[in-house]
Homo-oligomer: A and B are copies of this chain.
Amino acid sequence: MTESSLPARSGMTLPRLDVSRSPQDRFADFLQSRGMRDTRQRQTLLAAVFKQQHHFDADQLIEQLPRRGQQNYVSRPTVYRTLGEFVEAGLLKKFDLDGRCLYEHDYGYPEHDHLLCLECRRLFEFENDALKKLVGEIALQAQFQVQSQRLIVEGVCIDCRRNHRRERKRVDLI
């Protein structure tokens, strides 16, 4: 998280990296290389996923898609199956939080970590190069070949702490 962006904002958009091939191209290559087909459902989901600014879960995505009976409907199993394909293709990252699977962009976005507020349950993103470097050093020592890292710092965000102060103040006045 850069100095100028403090305090952390929920779902803050990290700067998008320059990528030569679009996610769509990358996924097309992925399908090609595995003999998989370019279907209406995959197109629908690819578009829907790239409308998401922040992390999302399968249900949140489905809510934004056409309902059953409407045009371009995609069934729940297909959503799950296709999200898995996106992860395999390197377009999305998947991680667990509170027993649910969350997805976030992984292609053309810098790797980042999270601050989770235990009160409002919001998830804040931040990026820190020193952290990546340090993790790299730790892994090197452990002779561990890093593929990705996921740091979730749990605590209380600034908004919730401000609310505390306000509440305390209110109590003091009584």
| Interface segment out of the listed A51-59, A72-80, A125-133, A166-174 | A125-133
Residues 26 to 56 of chain A near chain B (Cβ within 8 Å): none
B154 close to A146 (CB less than 8 A):
yes
Question: Does A22 touch B at the CB level, under 8 Å?
Answer: no
On chain A, the number of residues with a Cβ less than 8 Å from chain B's Cβ atoms is 41
A87–B101 CA distance with the chains assembled, in angstroms: 22
A98–B96 CA distance with the chains assembled, in angstroms: 7
Shortest C-beta distance, A169 to chain B (Å), equals 18
- Contact residue among B99, B141, B149, B155 (Cβ-Cβ distance under 8 Å from A3): B141
Contacts of A147 on B, CB cut-off 8 Å? 118, 154-156
B-binding residues in A (CB < 8 A)? 1, 3, 6-8, 96-99, 101, 115, 117-118, 124, 126, 128, 130-131, 134-135, 138-139, 141-158, 161
